[in-house]
Amino acid sequence: DIACYCDYSLEKFRKWLNAKYGGLEGLNTAWNERFRSFSEVHPPNRPLRAWGKYKPWLDWRAFCDDNLAEWVGFVSNALKKGDPNHPTHTNLLFHQILYNQPAVGADTWKMAKVVDTLGVSIYLWTQGGGDFPWCFSQIIDTVRSAAESEGKDAWVTELQGGPTIWAHSKSVTPSSKQIELWAWQTVARGGKGLIYWLWRPRIGNVHSGWENNEFGLVSKDGELRPRAEAAGRACRTITENTELFLNARPNAKVAILQSQTCKNAAASEIPDETVFHPYEGQRRYYAQSQLGAYKILWEEKIPCDFINPPSIAAGMLNRYEVLIMPFTYMLDELSANAIKNFVRKGGCVIADFGCAMKDEYGAVHLVSPGFGLDEVFGAYSYDIETPDDEEFLKVKLGTEWPIFKVNLPLYAFREILRPYDKAKVIGEFINGEPAVIENRFGEGRTILVGTLMFQSYLLKGGEWRTFVQKLLHSEGVKSPIDIENTPPKLWRNIEVGFLDHKDGRTKVVVLLNHNREDADISVKMQNVCSVIDLETRSELPLEKIDENAYLKIVIKGKSARVLKVAKY
């Protein structure tokens, strides 16, 4: 833990609490204490599982987030006073975003407020568990979402350029294909800049240390290696099409709720939360639920953003059609009211186990989902039971043929739901208790699932992805393009980046093949008049049938095809 307990931090924490609670009386009420003055207030020095106090610990973590953002903002402002012509930038660590590392004290959205561009360092292979391409994309989409919420751009500030020997938990030299693929993955997710770390490895006494002779795109003597040539190929095409890429962005209709409060609490309540691997650890309810939700959308080629509770409370949810709430077990009243209005006006919300079980201070609601969201979801949580390892629930979707009927694996919990009169039970546990509730509220629709469905998909697979896909399709949310005639195993690891240019007619489509085998695919798009391969600068032949345009294309293993698409 890198939290600072010095006298200056202590005094600043007391002032922060005074501002938050409006004085000592408010603090005493919130913390259930009897302080006589703020001089008696000290931050907790033990996490929740070591009998630390709950609200003080959450406040301490929130203060650390605010404090770091304030200091980064202080440095940014100081730099701009001396040089007002250049943008300021800070980069986050990928594992604090992808996994759950609140000890770092960095809230992605708060950091986006205090600099001109927001970045991230990604060393997924050497510190993050291995080759998980959807994890790479999730990192960038998170940083991009936070940056764009402030009208700013996102970068990959450090992208591994060469070998690791000692510095990280795993010794890996990325191939030249992987070096190039990462560049296009950055573009595909809407990143606006990337920096390889680094050109030449550090050598000699001046650069002696832990990471010397590591990360270089070129050899120690500066000789070009295939890695450098691959980076050059990608960056040359990017630079030649700067205007196109800078003015094209993802246009997501789906948002995944990501809460720093949930992250801070979960990492303190559940030790497994802080593991540096997507699949390891069995009680990582929050981190793995986020991973599972994103993985479903990534595999379905459906663009998505992340959104945090303050952005929801500020009205930003209205730009989306669907909100996904993976294990959102803590939620504030302002965000709950905004979600209620979102559904009332026609939005769709998909949530799973523990939805709004607690408020943002950790107090459990007597009726949950709390703050009136039980009415929105048409049900309340009645009881929590433990399922068998191989247990499943039965779900039925649709009233017209073909009806989707399937058994879906449970994970960790069987949450018994009690539906209200107008709600519809569309899924049951094997004991016949309600498991999935569909409800109409105002002009919108909600789905509440009584198990950790997103974590279940990550760890167990099954048909959860198809279940979510059918829910999204019923809301008119689909992938912008269809990839046809591709074996399922290959299809799952083909990534699609789809960017809308601000001119309204031009699209950028990035097709990434994360398989080792070549992929011979057929791409179906609508209302397309021409497609240009940006690397070869050649126009590709299209077969047009009615409003559909079909493109047959080969993507070599661990490679990308980058297309400029003009629409009618």
Q: Which domains does the chain have, with CATH numbers?
A: 7-247 (3.20.20.80), 254-474 (3.40.50.880), 482-567 (2.60.40.1180)
- What pLDDT was estimated at residue 95? 82
Distance CA 18, CA 12 (A): 10
List the one residue out of 258, 368, 273, 369 whose CA is nearest residue 324. Answer: 258
pTM: 0.95
- Single-letter amino acid, residue 10: L
pLDDT at 306 over 70: yes
Which tens digit of pLDDT belongs to each residue from 153-196?
999 999 999 998 887 778 889 999 999 999 999 999 999 999 99
Which tens digit of pLDDT belongs to each residue from 421-474?
999 999 999 999 999 999 999 999 999 999 999 999 999 999 999 999 999 999
Q: How far apart are the first and last CA of the chain?
A: 55
Do 190 and 252 contact (CB within 8 A), yes or no? Answer: no
pLDDT band, residue 2 (cuts 50/70/90): low
- 494's enclosing H/E stretch is strand 494-501
Residue 409 structure tokens: 């694996």
List the one residue out of 68, 14, 65, 21 whose CA is nearest residue 42. Answer: 14
Residue 325 structure tokens: 């709430």
pLDDT at 273 over 80: no
Do 282 and 475 contact (CB within 8 A), yes or no? Answer: no
- 430's enclosing H/E stretch is none
The four Cα atoms 250, 251, 253, 257 give a dihedral, to 10 degrees, of 40
